[in-house]
């Protein structure tokens, strides 16, 4: 098993940079766009051979123009974002079900293939007043645009503008169609504008790329663990073999180094399934996101996913909190009375900061890893001036390959470490919540 | 130029929130029911089994050690006994030998003393006979002598007897 893992690891190291390089190389060819209105066009990060050929058919906008400046930031962000389509290396676009809710039209469901998604994960068709831009669905707000049926869009229909509203600058995307510009609603988010999103007129409940990844990884883990569990049932008391032998040491590690030391030998069985689920769910998704050719989904680097997990941990911890735990929060024993309210404030804050750090640490680490790899690969396009300079591209490649190789190796460690950290902190929070102290004894002991 | 793009992975989205909640809860439930609990139980069972086996082996080893020491004790005892028996046999043998020797000596001395007595008696008898014979011989000699010279036997005969008695044979 060790040997197989090593082979997989080697495969990732060997193929990772190559895959990314190829993917981005196509982009360099197609990322040649004029911007007639002089407005900054949004960064192009995805391009395909298909998009390329279409662009050349369309006599005019294409290739012969100046090479567009490469924007590494938006490229990286697009690559690690969730999407309404599952793209594999830009040659396979798996359509996903769209589930959209608006007050006016209620629930709408259709497949994202309706958008005829092409390069940069932009849709070539508008459907029922919806358009696909950079992998996510947007609503055309302008009532002048046809609200139902398919509308074929022109080449490069999306235009980004910066608008000032109440002294705050926000990016607004417009749809350019047949000489007119239609304002698009922002992505559907829940942050109320705090993190750059906004209050939108619709809600997107679609089964996205991240959701599909979660389902796939969950099913794989279920299959693997069910197989291992069956092996235990069929050969009780035998030495573990195969998959069972691979999973057992990790399982034992979480049990013996995380669950039992933090929760205690009597109570750990109650929380072991949660800790194991957290560990293997995160680990599975971390590793899945690192596999080249498979979309490199950034699920555990997505704040929404880690937020949900942190909320679950928060609820489990606080619903299992014993009297001592609450006493420590609201009225800390063994301290002077005037300190007690101060500590209560701090403790109540830490009550929420704990899951908050869980959420941010995991999302930050995994996203950072993806961004670092994408940035190193971005060196090729920065040095190569998006395909204009072959020599520069060669220098960039020479730099990017070892750096990416190194980064992917680091990310492999990070995948394990972050899964472990999330699990061990969860275990420690649960352990602190269910612990029962004996303060009277302590106090007595310290006075004597 | 670098523009500060909105960091979309960090914007919470309603769809992903609901889906991930649903998927994670389902994952948690199914894994707990069909994988983690059976595995944890099987592992605990196996660990108990191994612990039992180790304990039993330890116990058996201790028993063996006990038995060995007992055996050694028994062996030592047997050795001691044997030595004792051998010693006793030796003693008896020695005693018997000395007894036999003593008896033999006694018998021998008895036989020797008997023989001495016999010899003495025989000697005395022989001397007495010799004396008698000598008397007779002397008498006959004297008779012959006296016949020639003397007459009357009785006087001479008594005289000869006194003479014979005076001969003291040593």
pLDDT digits (tens, 9 = 90+) for A252-311: 999 999 999 999 888 899 999 999 999 999 999 999 999 887 888 899 999 999 999 999
> What is the token pair recorded at A317?
């911890």
Q: Which of B13, B31, B42 sits opposite A204 (nearest CB)?
A: B13
CA pair distance A442, A439, nearest whole angstrom: 5
Closest CA of chain A from B30, distance in Å? 8
- Percent over 70 (pLDDT), chain A: 78
Instruction: For residue B131, tell me if it sits in a domain.
Output: yes
What average pLDDT does range B120-146 have in this prediction? 85
Chain B hits for A233, CB-CB cut-off 8 Å, are 38, 42
Closest chain A residue to the Cα of B36, Cα to Cα: A273
What average pLDDT does range A66-77 have in this prediction? 70
Closest chain A residue to the Cα of B51, Cα to Cα: A237
In this prediction the pTM is 0.72
Whether B13 and A214 lie within 8 Å, measured CB to CB = no
> What is the token pair recorded at A126?
């508008």
Q: Which of A196-205, B1-10, B61-70, B149-158 has the highest mean pLDDT?
A: B61-70
With tokens 């002294």, the residue in question is A167
* B85: number of Cβ within 10 Å: 10
B24 touches chain A (CB under 8 A): yes
Q: Which of B3, B11, B35 sits opposite A189 (nearest CB)?
A: B11
Q: How many domains does chain B have?
A: 1
Chain A, window 183-222: residues with a beta carbon less than 8 angstroms from a chain B beta carbon: 187-191, 195-197, 203-208, 210-211, 214-215, 218, 221-222
Q: Which of A74-83, A86-95, A232-241, A355-364 has the highest mean pLDDT?
A: A355-364
Chain A hits for B11, CB-CB cut-off 8 Å, are 187, 189-191, 195-197, 303-304
Q: What is the pLDDT of residue A192?
A: 60
> In terms of Cα–Cα distance, which of A314, A212, A220, A184 is closest to B15?
A212
Q: Does position A56 have pLDDT exceeding 50, yes or no?
A: no
The residue range of the domain holding B41 is: 14-169
Q: What is the pLDDT of residue A278?
A: 95
Distance of CA A260 to the CA centre of its chain: 31
Instruction: For residue B144, tell me if it sits in a domain.
Output: yes
- The per-residue b/e assignment along A129-145, b for 16 or more CB within 10 angstroms, e otherwise, is bbbbbbbbbbbbbbeeb
pLDDT-based confidence at residue B158 (cuts at 50, 70, 90): confident
Whether B11 and A248 lie within 8 Å, measured CB to CB = no
CA pair distance B105, B100, nearest whole angstrom: 8
- Across the A:B interface, residue pairs with CB atoms under 8 Å apart total 181
Whether A277 and B16 lie within 8 Å, measured CB to CB = no
With tokens 């510009």, the residue in question is A181
Of A442 and A376, the structure prediction assigns the larger pLDDT to A376
Are A62 and A188 contacting, i.e. CB atoms less than 8 angstroms apart? no
Q: What is the pLDDT of residue A425?
A: 95
Distances (CA, A) of A338 to A78, A333, A335, A344: 52, 12, 8, 11
> What is the token pair recorded at A388?
């204009």
Q: Does position A442 have pLDDT exceeding 90, yes or no?
A: no
Closest chain B residue to the Cα of A310, Cα to Cα: B21
> In terms of Cα–Cα distance, which of A157, A145, A171 is closest to A73?
A171
Q: Which of B11, B25, B34 sits opposite A196 (nearest CB)?
A: B11
Q: What is the pLDDT of residue A314?
A: 95
A368 touches chain B (CB under 8 A): no
Whether B24 and A308 lie within 8 Å, measured CB to CB = yes
B48 touches chain A (CB under 8 A): no
Instruction: For residue B6, tell me if it sits in a domain.
Output: no
Q: What is the pLDDT of residue A87?
A: 86
Closest CA of chain A from B66, distance in Å? 31
A225 touches chain B (CB under 8 A): yes
Instruction: For residue B133, tell me if it sits in a domain.
Output: yes
A45 touches chain B (CB under 8 A): no
Whether B16 and A255 lie within 8 Å, measured CB to CB = no
Q: Does position A148 have pLDDT exceeding 60, yes or no?
A: yes
Q: Is A193 left (phi over 0), alpha (psi -120 to 50) or beta?
A: left
A363 touches chain B (CB under 8 A): yes
Whether B12 and A307 lie within 8 Å, measured CB to CB = yes
Are A137 and A84 contacting, i.e. CB atoms less than 8 angstroms apart? yes
* B24: number of Cβ within 10 Å: 19
> What is the per-residue pLDDT across B138-148, written as a single tens digit (0 to 9) for each?
888 877 777 66
What radius of gyration do chain B's Cα atoms show? Answer: 65
B53 touches chain A (CB under 8 A): no
> What is the per-residue pLDDT across A406-416, written as a single tens digit (0 to 9) for each?
999 999 999 99
Chain A hits for B30, CB-CB cut-off 8 Å, are 222
> What is the token pair recorded at A267?
């109570």
Chain A hits for B21, CB-CB cut-off 8 Å, are 308, 312
Q: What is the pLDDT of residue A243?
A: 86
Least confident of A15-19, A401-405, B64-68: A15-19
Q: What is the pLDDT of residue A424?
A: 95
Q: Does position A42 have pLDDT exceeding 80, yes or no?
A: no
Is the complex ipTM more than 0.85? no
Closest CA of chain B from A238, distance in Å? 8
Q: Which of B1, B16, B35 sits opposite A226 (nearest CB)?
A: B35
Q: Does position A49 have pLDDT exceeding 70, yes or no?
A: no
Chain B hits for A232, CB-CB cut-off 8 Å, are 38-39, 42-43, 46
Mutate to test the interface with A, among B2, B11, B21 (most CBs of A within 10 A): B11
Are A275 and A258 contacting, i.e. CB atoms less than 8 angstroms apart? yes
Structural domain boundaries of chain A? 2-68, 92-207, 211-446
Q: Which of B13, B19, B27 sits opposite A277 (nearest CB)?
A: B27
Closest chain A residue to the Cα of B21, Cα to Cα: A308
DSSP state of B34: I
A77 touches chain B (CB under 8 A): yes
A309 touches chain B (CB under 8 A): yes
Q: End-to-end alpha-carbon separation of chain B, Å?
A: 172
Chain B hits for A280, CB-CB cut-off 8 Å, are 31
Q: What is the pLDDT of residue A430?
A: 94
pLDDT-based confidence at residue A32 (cuts at 50, 70, 90): very low
Q: What is the pLDDT of residue A194?
A: 59
């Amino acid at each position: 098993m060790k040997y197989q893992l090593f082979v997989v690891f080697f495969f990732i190291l060997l193929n990772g940079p190559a895959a990314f390089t190829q993917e981005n190389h196509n982009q360099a060819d197609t990322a040649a766009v004029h911007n007639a209105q002089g407005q900054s066009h949004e960064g192009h990060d995805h391009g395909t051979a298909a998009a390329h050929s279409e662009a050349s058919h369309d006599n005019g906008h294409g290739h012969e123009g100046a090479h567009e400046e490469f924007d590494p930031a938006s490229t990286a962000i697009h690559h690690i974002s969730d999407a309404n389509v599952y793209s594999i290396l830009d040659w396979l676009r798996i359509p996903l079900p769209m589930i959209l809710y608006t007050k006016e039209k209620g629930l709408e469901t259709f497949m994202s293939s309706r958008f005829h998604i092409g390069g940069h994960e932009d849709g070539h068709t508008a459907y029922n007043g919806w358009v696909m831009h950079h992998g996510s669905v947007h609503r055309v707000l302008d009532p002048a645009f046809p609200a139902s049926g398919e509308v074929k869009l022109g080449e490069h229909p999306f235009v980004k503008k910066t608008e000032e509203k109440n002294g705050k600058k926000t990016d607004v995307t417009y749809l350019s169609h047949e000489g007119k510009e239609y304002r698009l609603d922002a992505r559907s988010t829940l942050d109320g504008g705090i993190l750059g999103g906004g209050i939108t007129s619709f809600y997107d409940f679609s089964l996205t790329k991240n959701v599909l990844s979660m389902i796939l990884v969950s099913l794989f883990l279920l299959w693997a663990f069910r197989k291992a569990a069956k092996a235990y049932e069929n050969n009780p008391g035998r030495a573990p073999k195969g998959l069972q032998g691979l999973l057992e040491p990790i399982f034992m590690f979480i049990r013996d180094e995380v669950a039992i030391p933090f929760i205690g030998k009597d109570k750990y069985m109650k929380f072991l399934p949660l800790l194991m689920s957290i560990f293997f769910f995160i680990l599975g998704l971390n590793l899945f996101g690192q596999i080249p050719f498979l979309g490199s989904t950034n699920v555990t680097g997505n704040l929404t996913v880690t937020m949900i997990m942190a909320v679950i941990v928060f609820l489990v911890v606080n619903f299992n909190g014993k009297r001592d735990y609450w006493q420590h929060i609201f009225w800390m024993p063994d301290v002077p009375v005037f300190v007690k309210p101060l500590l209560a404030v701090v403790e109540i804050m830490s009550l929420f900061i704990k899951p908050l750090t869980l959420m941010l640490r995991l999302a930050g680490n995994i996203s950072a890893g993806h961004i670092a790899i994408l940035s190193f690969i971005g060196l090729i396009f920065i040095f190569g001036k998006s395909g204009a300079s072959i020599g520069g591209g060669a220098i960039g490649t020479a730099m990017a390959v070892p750096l990416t190789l190194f980064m992917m190796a680091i990310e492999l460690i990070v995948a394990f470490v972050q899964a472990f950290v999330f699990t061990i902190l969860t275990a420690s929070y649960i352990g602190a919540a269910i612990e029962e102290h004996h303060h009277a004894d302590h106090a007595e002991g310290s006075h004597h | 130029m670098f523009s500060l793009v909105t960091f979309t992975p960090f914007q919470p989205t309603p769809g992903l929130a609901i889906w991930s909640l649903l998927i994670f809860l389902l994952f948690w439930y199914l894994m707990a029911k069909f994988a983690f609990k059976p595995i944890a139980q099987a592992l605990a069972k196996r660990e108990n089994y191994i612990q039992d086996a180790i304990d039993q082996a330890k116990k058996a080893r201790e028993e063996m050690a006990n038995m060995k020491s007992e055996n050694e004790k028994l062996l030592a005892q047997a050795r001691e006994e044997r030595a004792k028996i051998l010693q006793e046999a030796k003693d008896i043998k020695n005693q018997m030998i000395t007894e036999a020797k003593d008896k033999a000596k006694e018998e021998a001395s008895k036989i020797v003393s008997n023989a001495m007595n016999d010899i003495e008696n025989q000697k005395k008898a022989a001397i007495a006979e010799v004396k008698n014979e000598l008397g007779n011989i002397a008498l006959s000699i004297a008779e012959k002598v006296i016949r020639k010279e003397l007459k009357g036997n009785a006087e001479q005969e008594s005289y000869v007897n006194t003479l014979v008695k005076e001969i003291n044979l040593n």
